[in-house]
Amino acid sequence: MQISEDALKQAYRQMKTIRMFEERLHDEIMTGEIAGFTHLYAGQEAVAVGVCEHLDYNDTIASTHRGHGHCIAKGCDVKGMMLEIYGRADGICKGKGGSMHIADIEKGMLGANGIVGGGPPIVVGAALAAKLYGDGRLAVAFSGDGACNQGTTFEAMNLAVVTNAPAIFAFENNHYSEHTGVSYAVGSEDIAGRAESFGMKAWRVDGCDFFKVYETMGEVVDHVRAGKGPAAVEFDTERFFGHFEGDPQNYRGEGEIARIRKERDCITIFREHATKKKLVSKKDLDAIDKEVSDLIEKSVEESRAAAPPTAEDVLTDVYIDYI
C-alpha cells in the first residue's frame, strides 16, 4: 500500500508523541504531582496511529481506560490532555474527567472509558448515525483483550451485524487484562475468531509493525466504507508498562519487559523499516523527535503552572440548564 512521505512523517510524529507523552507521565507520576489512576498506552502506538491514519474528521472512535494513545492519534490537543491529567481548569475536560475520561467530540473522539467494555455499544450507535448521514463515515471501537470478554462487546458486535452498521471492532491484544494473562482469561485465545462467529469479517495482524497495521486497516476501512458490514481486527501488541501506574508487575516473566522493549518496540521497528527502505531519512525522524520532545516539555511546564478548577466548578456541566 502506498503511503506518502508526509503521511509517514505524520504517523511517526503521532507515535512518538504518544510514546513521549506516556514516558513523561510515568516519570511525573513518581513525583506525586499527578492525582488518580493512570493507565499508559506505551508499546501499542502502532495500533492507534495505524488505525486513525485511515480516518477522517467525521469518523468517530471510542476508547478504553488506556486511552491516551487513541486520543492523540485522533487529533486531541496534546497540551489540553496534559492539563486534564494534571487536573487543571483549562484541561480538555476542565479537570472533570481526568486520564480515563478524555473526549473531544469535535475531533470524533467519543471518550476514553473507565468501564471495560463501555465503548463498543456506544460505537454501534455512532455507526448507526453514520449510516443515516450516508456519507461513508464509520465508527471504531478500540477494546483490549479484557473487554473482549464483556457481554457488552458481544451485544455490540451482534447488533452491528444485525443492522449492517459501519463499525470496526479493533481488539488490541496486549496479552494482559489488568494482571491476568490471555491464556487464562480468553477461552479460545482467538479474539478475531469470536468476531467472525458473529458474522463479520475479521483480520489478524502484528500490532507492533505500523506498516502492517496501516496496510491491513486500508482493507478493513475499504470493506466497511463500501457498506459490506462491520469488521473486526485483532492486533498482537505489547504493553510496556503495568496495568496502572504503580503496578508492581511481579506477574511478568523474567526479562519479559526488556525483551519486548528490545524486540517488539513499534517505534524502533518503524525507524528501521523507514530508513532501510529510504522512505524517510534518519535526519527527518530525529528532527521530529526533537519537535515532539519540545511539545511534551512545554505541555508539562504549562500544566504545572496552570490554575486548578474552583469549588464552584463542581456544580456545573451536569445538565444543560438548572430549574
Binding of other proteins at residue 311 (CB under 8 A)? no
Distances (CA, A) of 201 to 120, 139, 233: 17, 16, 9
Question: Three cell numbers at 292?
Answer: 515532539
Binding of other proteins at residue 162 (CB under 8 A)? yes
Least CB distance from residue 190 to other proteins, whole Å? 22
Render 32-47 in DSSP notation, one character per residue.
T-S-S-----TT-HHH
Exactly one of 1, 105, 258, 311 binds other proteins (CB under 8 A); which one?
A: 105
CA pair distance 68, 90, nearest whole angstrom: 17
Least CB distance from residue 141 to other proteins, whole Å? 10
Binding of other proteins at residue 319 (CB under 8 A)? yes
306: left (phi over 0), alpha (psi -120 to 50) or beta: beta
Least CB distance from residue 92 to other proteins, whole Å? 7
Stretch that binds other proteins, among 10-18, 147-155, 264-272, 282-290 (CB under 8 A): 147-155
21 three-state secondary structure: helix
| Closer to other proteins by Cβ: residue 99 or 174 | 99
Radius of gyration of the chain (CA): 19
Stretch that binds other proteins, among 93-101, 173-181, 212-220, 250-258 (CB under 8 A): 93-101
Binding of other proteins at residue 225 (CB under 8 A)? no
Least CB distance from residue 72 to other proteins, whole Å? 17
Residue 289: how many CB atoms within 10 A of its CB?
Answer: 17
Q: How many residues bind other proteins (CB under 8 A)?
A: 50
Q: Which 22-61 positions form the footprint of other proteins (CB under 8 A)?
A: 60
| Closer to other proteins by Cβ: residue 133 or 184 | 133
Exactly one of 1, 31, 32, 132 binds other proteins (CB under 8 A); which one?
A: 132
CA 111, chain centre distance (Å) = 10
Binding of other proteins at residue 91 (CB under 8 A)? yes
Residue 262's Cβ-count burial label (10 Å; 0-12, 13-18, 19+) is exposed
CA pair distance 175, 239, nearest whole angstrom: 8
Q: Which 244-303 positions form the footprint of other proteins (CB under 8 A)?
A: none
| Closer to other proteins by Cβ: residue 44 or 60 | 60
| Closer to other proteins by Cβ: residue 115 or 307 | 115
Distances (CA, A) of 127 to 103, 167, 312, 321: 18, 5, 37, 29
In single-letter form, the type of residue at position 145 comes to D
Q: Which residues bind other proteins (CB under 8 A)?
A: 60, 62, 91-97, 101, 103-106, 110-111, 113-115, 118, 120-133, 139, 151-152, 155-156, 158-159, 162-163, 316-320, 322-323
